[in-house]
Amino acid sequence: MEKKNQQIKFNYPDSLVPWLEKTKTTIIMSTYQTGKIMIIGQYDGQLDIRYKNFPRPMGMYAHKNLIWAGLGHG
């Protein structure tokens, strides 16, 4: 089966990328329904959004340089 790339459009304020860079912040969200963790940051002055597949991610916890994710089974 061939995977198709889907384009997702985002609206965000012009101040988001400079803020992410200045504060050295990354935003991470789980999407239980689609089985993905979404990572939003900046790279080289551009918004950088990545998705990682996990079985039913339900929640996350960050401590120091690690991120823990609660995953469903099934």
CA distance 28 to 38: 6
Whether 14 shows a pLDDT value over 70: the answer reads yes
Contacts by residues 37-45 (CB-CB < 8 Å, ≥ 24 positions apart): 37/69, 42/17, 45/17, 45/21
Q: Which residues sit opposite 42 in a β-bridge?
A: 47
CA distance 58 to 28: 12
pLDDT in tens, 28-72: 998 888 899 999 999 999 999 999 999 999 888 888 888 898 888
